[in-house]
Each structure stands twice: as C-alpha cells, then as structure tokens.
Structure 1
Amino acid sequence: MSLKTHNHAAFSAFILGNPLYRKYLLYSSIFLCAGFILFKLLYPSADYFTDSLYYIMVATGDDNGYIRPAGYAFFLKGVHYLFTSSFMLVLIQFLLLQASGLYFFFTILYVFRLPDKIATLLLILIVGNPLSFYAANLVASDCLFTILSLLWMTTLIHIVYKPSWGYIIAHTLLLGYILLVRYNALSYPLVVLTALFLSKMKRSGKVITGVLSVAITVLVIFQLQQHFYRKTGIHQFTNYSGWQTANNALYMYSHVPRRSWEIKGTEARRIHRMVKTFFDTSHVTLTNISPREGSLYMINPAGPLKNYLFTVLTKNPKIPFLKAFSITDVAIGDYGRQLVLQHPWEYIRYYVLPNTMVYLYPPLEQFEYYAEGRTGLFALAAAWFNIEDPQLTCFHPALQQYVLLLAPMLFLILHLLLGASLYMVRPKPAWLVQHPTAARVITLLLVFVLANALFSILASPVVMRYQLFAFTVLLALVTVLINAIPPLRKLLFGMKDT
C-alpha cells in the first residue's frame, strides 16, 4: 500500500470514530498513568540544574536571570499562581507534553493512511519515549519548548493539508511564544515560508499568514531589544549569542598558528590575551578537546570568557550582573566573529564538521546524572516551591544514563534511515501527482529537519534534551517514508505492497 491521504471532514470524528484509535487513546492513557507513577517513585523530586535557577530568578522578578529566554519563567510564574508544588509543575509539563505528542501523532495518521501495524509502532515510540519523562521532570525550558513546537508543527501540517483561520491564528501565537522560550525558534520562519509555499491557500491567505508570522517575529525581537535596552542600555535581542559565537570559535584556536591572528579593537585584544594565556597554560589538556564538550569555554569559571566577565565586574563593582553580562556579550561576540572570519576553513574543519557528528549523536548532558549529581536543592528553588526539606531524592542518580543509553544511537539511526529512505523513494513526477498532499507534508517535515540541523550545528549547543522535538518529528517522518517504500516496508515490517 502506497502513501494515501485522508479526506475525513472533522479531525475529532476521525479519531473518535475509529475503534482502533479510541483504543490508542485508552491504552496510552493507562500506560502514561502507570508510567508516571513508576517514574515518580524512582524520582520523587523534580530535577534541577544551574539553568533552573535563572528561570526561577526571572519568575521571582530578579532581572539578573535574564541570561536565558524568559518564556519558561513566565510559564513557571503562571503555574506557581495555581500550584506552588514542584510535583504539580512536573505533572502539568508531563500531561501537556504527552497531549501535544498525541495530537501530532493523530495528525500524522490524519494525513497519511498508515497501516495499523506501523501506526501502532509509531504510537509506542512517541508515547513510550523515556526522554519525555525526564524532560517533564526537569525544571527547564526543554519540555515547554517541545510542547509548543509540537503544537506549532501540527498546526503547520494542517495549514498545508487543510488550512483554516483557526490554525493560522494558533500558529502565529505559538510562533511568538516559542521565540520567547528558546532562540532555536529563529529557524522556524524558514519552515513557515515552506508551509505557505506548499499550502493550497489562496494568495491572499498566504500573504496574510506570512505578514502575521513576520509581524509576531519582529514584535518579539523588538520587545526583547527594548527590554535589554531599558535594563542595560544596550540594543540587543539576546545577551548570549556573542558568548556562543566565541565558544564555538575557540575550538579551532589551538589548531591555528598564533602569529596568524590579527585582532582589532581594544576589548577584543584584551580578550585575546586572556585566551592566549589560557591555552598556553592548559595546552596539554586542551589539544584534544572537541565540540562534543559543548559550552566548555562559556561555562568554565577558569576559562578566558568567564575571566573577562569577572574582570568587568571587578572594575565596576556596582554594575548589575545583567548589564555586565550584556556588555561582555558584545565584546566577546565581536572577538568570536573576528576569529571565524579570519580562519573560516579552520572553523569549518575543527568546529562545524566535528559538531555535525555531535549533532548526529548528541550527548545526554543534563540527562546523564540526576540534578548534576547534587543531593541538595538550591535555596531559591526550595523557597519557590515551598520545600522544607532541601534534600533531593531518587532511586539512583546515574540510573537515567542507562535508561537513556540508546537514545543518541536511535537519533543517529533515524538520520541514517531518513537518508536511505530519501535515496530509495526519489520522488518521481508520477508519485508527486498521485500523492500531492503527502509529498507536501513530507517536504515540510524535511525542511524542518534540515533547518533544525543547521541551526543546531552552527548556532546552538547540541545536547539530547534540545533535540526532543526533532526526535519526535524524525520518528514520524521516517515511519511515513518507510511506509512509502515497499522494499523497506517488507524488510522492516514483513508487509507486502497492496
């Protein structure tokens, strides 16, 4: 059986009118209830790490926490207004994440007539993904970003498949809030343009949707710039991008002859001297450092970037931390861009290409050890959640690295299967004519995967928790493509073409 599309009138009727899909909902609910109870027996406390503090700081009104996007802090504040316990936060995150995953799953079924056997497997992989349990238990933006992104992608699929003003408005609002939660969403406008190009909407509808998307993006960026300007006197959309740029560029530093650098600017040269000293004194331990270390040069308190920040704070003891962080971001970003522009090929060789391998096999990072191995809760987090006993308890802090051991490998396998599927399907004109809607949705998902990969490799830390949304999209995309290729479907599922 080749790719087909549904023509049912109502999405809800499509789900509830099918006995098998009703069973999907019932069995998923039972599994998720049992799974959540078991998970909380193993991990009674929520999971925290350093970034959790920044979000809670912003939620409590402390501007010094604004070195991370504030969208999750707003969510924390909203949940806290209703429930003060960390358990309820985790429960709400878990329910929203699973609900958005099921919505995405049934939308894939709505567009593609997947055989029951394949649909059941896809459901198990999405609902039973242990990454979802750990993401929901973490006080960080990862879970909320995945929830909103799944809803956003689902609305885009509906816009391509059967557009309506409800989906257009929902997409616009979701896009705006996602930009407040994580800057990875800066790659999303490219996906939106693809959806508009593929959609059957009238030209006027496409123009309105495009204008709304651009307007919400510009509005969010403008508001963030105004916020940082009011707090720091600096016009910037984010006060973290410069740090990221320099961090990435430093992975090539030890591979480039020292005399080849021509750094311009007083502050950039000052940073360069700190970098030179750092590498001279740490050469033995840094020669084999790879981008798999992630934000090493950003977070290392003995590193040159933090050293420059501490120097600014020392010279100006009365300056607020947020302003100091923003000032250093500008200078550090200028320095990082000079490194990249002076040695672009070395940058590609020693950062971009190795980081591509990191993307394909992302490290577990925060998911490797519960609470980064700590046994005590941050005082600020304890006060925010009204926790009297600051002790963090779990079955074993290293358990999750064994539970999630295969997650990076599966992420790699999905990319390999995607490449193999695209090679084997090689859509011909007849195939496109026969299944136009399926081809459009597949194209949309492919553009997202490519945009996410490029942004992750070039502009963002690559860790497993950042890829949960892409992981889910890849599961669906690869499943759909395998179903479209009789040899693969027969090999993997033992199913013949019908």
Structure 2
Amino acid sequence: MLLTTTTSFLRPSFIFAHRRNQLLLAGAVVMAVIKMVVFKHFFPYMDFTSDTGSYMETTLKHMDYNIWPIGYSKFLWLFHQVSHSETVLAVLQFTLLEISAFFFYFSVVYIFHPESYFRYGFYAFLLINPLFPFLGNYFISDALFLSLGLTWITLLLWILHKPTTTLLVLHGLVLGAAFTIRYNAMFYPLVALIPILCSRYRPWQKITAILLPVVLITAFVLFVRQKSYEHAGIRLFSAFSGWQMMNNSMYMLQYVKIDSTGVPAELEPMHKLVYQYCTLLKQGKGRIDPRVGSAFMWDNGGPQKIMLARYNQAHPGKDTYTGWANVAPLFGSYGVYMIKKYPWDFLHYYIWPNAKQYLFPEMEVLAAYNRPYMGSNLQNVAAFFTDGAKEKPVGKYGDTQLTLMAIFPWLIVVCHVLFLEETIRYLIRKGIRRTSRKFNLALLLCWTFILLNFGFSVFAAPIVLRYQVLLIVLLLGYTLLLTEIIDMPERSPEEIAAEDELVMLGI
C-alpha cells in the first residue's frame, strides 16, 4: 500500500507503480524544499516564545520534571546530540510536519479512492500552506505534537481499513508519545475507542489496543510524579493544571459578588487575595476578557503570583519548578471550589466566551516575529545554539507573517460551517447507505475528535490558533471528502457490500 511490503499497510507499489502518484509525491517534495528555502530567506532565525526558556533549561539540565510536559525536551536533547544549529532544528520540525501530512493524504487516497476534490484540493492546500513553515520555526512543542497527531489519526484510519498487530503497537506508541509532548492528548484514547472497537481485531487484540496507550501514559504519569517528589517534595504530575484551573475561575470571579461564607480554612488566605484583586478590577482597572488566555496566572500583581512569592519567601533557595509545584494543588482546589460554588456564572463568563473564541481563535505568537524581544531574556540560548546569543535583527517581514496568519482564524470558521453543511447534506441524501462502513466510521471518528477537542479546549486550555492546526487539517480534509462522496454517482448496495467484504478479507 504505501511503504513496506513486510508491513500490511504502506506498500511502495501504490505510489511508485502509478505515474500520477509519483508526480504528486515528487511535487510535494520539490514544493517542500522551495517553501523552506524561501521561508528561511525571509525568516533566517528560529522564533522564541515565553515557553522557550523553560524547554531549553529542561533540555540542558536533563530534568525529568517541568511546568510543561517533558517529551519535547527529550526530543530536543536527542537533537542536541547531533546538531547545535537552529536552522537544522527548524528544517527537521518542518520535515516531520510535511511527512505526517502527506502520510495522512496518501493514506486517505489509498483507503477511500477520492478522485477530484480531496485528491487535488487538499493536495493544493498542503503544497501552499504557510502554517507548517512558521510552526516548524518555533522553539516550542507545536510542530512535533502536530506531527504526532496527524500520524495518530492516520493510523486510526488504517486500523479501520485493515487492522494488524503492527498497527496496534504503532498506535499505542504514537499516542503515548503525543501525551508526553502536550497534555491535550489526554482525550485521544477516547477518540481511538471508535476505530478499535469497530475494527475486525479479535477481542484480545482490541483489549490490548485499548490498554497499551493507557499503560504507557500511566507509566509516564507515575514517572513524572516520582521525579517531582524527588526534586520538589510533592507528588505532582502537572503543576500547570492547578494554575490553569484557578486562572479559568478568575474570569467569572471578576463579575460575581464574592461570598466569603463557608470558604474552607485552607483556602481562606487565597480567597482574601482574590477578593482584594477582584475588588480593584471592579473599581477601575477593568475586566479581563477570556480571549487574553492565561492572563491571571501571569499577572505579577495577581493573587497567584503573590501566593507564589510568599512561598518563595518562606522557602528561600528553591527553584522555579518547586515553587510552582507546591502552590499548584492549592490553586487547583480553589478553582474547583469556586466553579462548584458559581457554576452558572462560570458557564456565562468563561465557557460561553471561550466557546465563541473556539470558532475564531487568537493568533497569539503567530501574529508576529518575537525573537528579537524574547532572545535577550533567555539565559541558555548560547549553550543551545551555535551563535545563538548573537543579537538578531528585528524582523523585516512581520507584517507579512501577520497577513498570512490572519487567514487561518477565518479558515476555521469557514471549515466548521462547510463541514457541518456537508454532513447534513450527507445525511439528507442518505450517504450512510451509499458509502462503505469504513467511511461512515471514519466520519464518526472525525466528529468525535471535533466534539472532544471542543470540550477540552473550551474548559481546560487556552484557545489559540497554534493549538487548533490539527482541527483545520481534519475539517478541510473531511469536508472535501464528504463533498466528493455526496456528488459522486450512487453505487449499488452490492458494490458497497463487495468493498466491505474486501476490507474484511484484508484486501
């Protein structure tokens, strides 16, 4: 099918024995090279964000704990054994994105046989898409996480098409790896239940396919908790989650009349700081919009940073992680307590604004080139990159980046509308009966991912453009597939049954 004859998926004959596919692959390779050469002419240096310094420190100090997931830092450590060039890192990350995207593309072409909209429309999008060069050029985990996410989705499609033991193992490893890069992947095992349970695996294989990523993720969680305990004296998996939970609750607390009765004793010092802070907001500083993201947790005058400062004063000599980790459980408990106390206000002032923002996410760091401003604040750039500490000029093409990236929030809106419209048209025209079982399951897989991604993003994560790139790819790809299938001549039930029979036989 696409790559090896020994593996039941990906045989080279699919591409190399068909001239059209040869040309498509050659065009993809040539265009990827051109894109990267042109991109590096305009943006010769990697871009940094506020997260970059943490990744650098974790990598260089071989830390097994951090505020952020440590998987990307382990990837950077492996890279650093081979090269200290930031250009090589950017090219590597871009290459991983291109390989995973075209793995998805050629797999869909092989499995579902599209001949027009998807084959050429989605291919054209991948060729000209400017998001991948920009994402690959950031010293953050987005490019690697997206590459793993695209690979994971593609493996699920192969499990629907022809489940094998090799696929079972690869899926578990990729999903486990994705979780170490970003905790957004915590809902991925739920999405994977659909193709695994509906596949033609034997019962013991289905159980293994479900348990393998769970076992890997659990082992990773226990490992990080132990390392956190050894360093900071507290068994904690994610220091960031407690901070984020309280941050999210603060968006409603700036509006409600805060009631101090019944507050648990251990939360009273935190509650007093929150009351004072929200009172100042109401008196003139102004309300903070959820579009800002994690504004409260980064405000040096906010209750979270004040509580962190108190911990640091009481425990001099402790590093940043130790402080963050030891106050995180308090923040998480306070956030949960307030959300339970004011559930409808939380829905009104946080969930609803966030739901609207989900359809039109902020461009955030993608809106501009940040290296000249961020680089001078990072201590480990010189140790990580050759000539990394050399002063970098202010980007000449910031407006170009802003113009290109401004397209994508609108693209998300358009893709959601078109995908919903095409799904409705698919149901009205009885597409379920006109198509194969595997396509219906693949469509259900996509909808499950969209709904769970929506729930996780709206409730637990900042909503920014770079976190929603996988969503863009899936929405656009599935919309083109749906349009093509709906518009194609209707097939007889016998033809559909014959195709499903071939899948059952593994052909």
| TM-score, normalization by structure 1 | 0.91
Q: Deviations over 1:320-378 (max 9, x none)?
A: 32221111111111111111000111111111111011111111101112116617443
Structure-1 residue corresponding to 2:400: 399
- After TM superposition, give the deviation of residue 459 of structure 1 in Å: 1.0
Distance 1:85 1:290 in 2: 39
In the TM superposition, 1:229-240 aligns within 5 A as 229-240=229-240
Structure-2 residue corresponding to 1:30: 30
1:363–1:373: structure 2 CA closer, same or farther, 3 Å change rule?
farther
Distance 2:430 2:195 in 1: 20
Distance 2:113 2:170 in 1: 25
- After TM superposition, give the deviation of residue 281 of structure 1 in Å: 2.2
Does residue 243 (structure 1) correspond to residue 267 (structure 2)? The answer is no
- After TM superposition, give the deviation of residue 59 of structure 1 in Å: 0.4
Q: Which of 311-320 and 340-349 deviates more?
A: 311-320
Does residue 174 (structure 1) correspond to residue 174 (structure 2)? The answer is yes
- After TM superposition, give the deviation of residue 289 of structure 1 in Å: 2.5
1:200–1:287: structure 2 CA closer, same or farther, 3 Å change rule?
farther
Distance 2:26 2:269 in 1: 62
Structure-1 residue corresponding to 2:273: 274
Distance 1:473 1:386 in 2: 37
1:372–1:272: structure 2 CA closer, same or farther, 3 Å change rule?
farther
Distance 2:61 2:414 in 1: 44
Distance 1:348 1:374 in 2: 37
Does residue 154 (structure 1) correspond to residue 154 (structure 2)? The answer is yes
CA RMSD of aligned residues (A): 2.1
- After TM superposition, give the deviation of residue 92 of structure 1 in Å: 0.6
- After TM superposition, give the deviation of residue 12 of structure 1 in Å: 2.9
Preserved contact between residue 64 and residue 224 of structure 2 (Cα < 8 Å) = no
Task: List runs of 5+ in structure 1 lacking aligned partners.
Answer: 1-7, 488-498
Preserved contact between residue 243 and residue 331 of structure 2 (Cα < 8 Å) = yes
Preserved contact between residue 298 and residue 305 of structure 2 (Cα < 8 Å) = yes
Distance 2:367 2:91 in 1: 22
1:374 alignment partner, SS class: helix
Task: List runs of 5+ in structure 2 lacking aligned partners.
Answer: 1-7, 489-507
Structure-2 residue corresponding to 1:495: none
- After TM superposition, give the deviation of residue 255 of structure 1 in Å: 1.9
Distance 1:244 1:254 in 2: 16
Structure-2 residue corresponding to 1:496: none
Q: Which of 119-128 and 334-343 deviates more?
A: 119-128
In the TM superposition, 1:61-460 aligns within 5 A as 61=61, 63=63, 66-259=66-259, 262-266=262-266, 268-283=267-282, 287-371=286-370, 374=373, 376-377=375-376, 378-387=378-387, 390-393=390-393, 394-426=395-427, 431-432=432-433, 434-460=435-461
One-letter code of the match for 1:472? V
Q: Deviations over 1:183-229 (max 9, x none)?
A: 00101110121221221222222112122122112212221222212
Distance 1:388 1:125 in 2: 33
Distance 1:285 1:114 in 2: 58
Distance 1:23 1:174 in 2: 29
1:12–1:443: structure 2 CA closer, same or farther, 3 Å change rule?
farther
Q: Deviations over 1:201-260 (max 9, x none)?
A: 222221121221221122122212222122222222211111111111111012211236
Structure-2 residue corresponding to 1:17: 17
Preserved contact between residue 160 and residue 199 of structure 1 (Cα < 8 Å) = yes
Preserved contact between residue 39 and residue 133 of structure 1 (Cα < 8 Å) = yes
Distance 2:145 2:139 in 1: 12
1:236–1:375: structure 2 CA closer, same or farther, 3 Å change rule?
closer
Preserved contact between residue 293 and residue 463 of structure 2 (Cα < 8 Å) = yes
1:380–1:148: structure 2 CA closer, same or farther, 3 Å change rule?
same
Q: Which of 70-79 and 477-486 deviates more?
A: 477-486
One-letter code of the match for 1:402? T
One-letter code of the match for 1:150? L
Distance 2:431 2:407 in 1: 39
Preserved contact between residue 376 and residue 390 of structure 1 (Cα < 8 Å) = no
1:265–1:82: structure 2 CA closer, same or farther, 3 Å change rule?
same
1:62–1:312: structure 2 CA closer, same or farther, 3 Å change rule?
farther
Percent identical: 27
1:87–1:430: structure 2 CA closer, same or farther, 3 Å change rule?
closer
- The count of residues paired between Structure 1 and Structure 2 equals 479
Preserved contact between residue 126 and residue 472 of structure 1 (Cα < 8 Å) = no
Structure-1 residue corresponding to 2:481: 480
Distance 2:141 2:252 in 1: 30
One-letter code of the match for 2:119? A
Preserved contact between residue 117 and residue 480 of structure 2 (Cα < 8 Å) = no
Q: Which of 460-469 and 424-433 deviates more?
A: 424-433
One-letter code of the match for 2:348? R
1:205–1:65: structure 2 CA closer, same or farther, 3 Å change rule?
closer
- After TM superposition, give the deviation of residue 109 of structure 1 in Å: 1.1
- After TM superposition, give the deviation of residue 426 of structure 1 in Å: 1.6
Q: Deviations over 1:442-481 (max 9, x none)?
A: 1112211211111111111111111112221222112112
Distance 1:473 1:151 in 2: 12
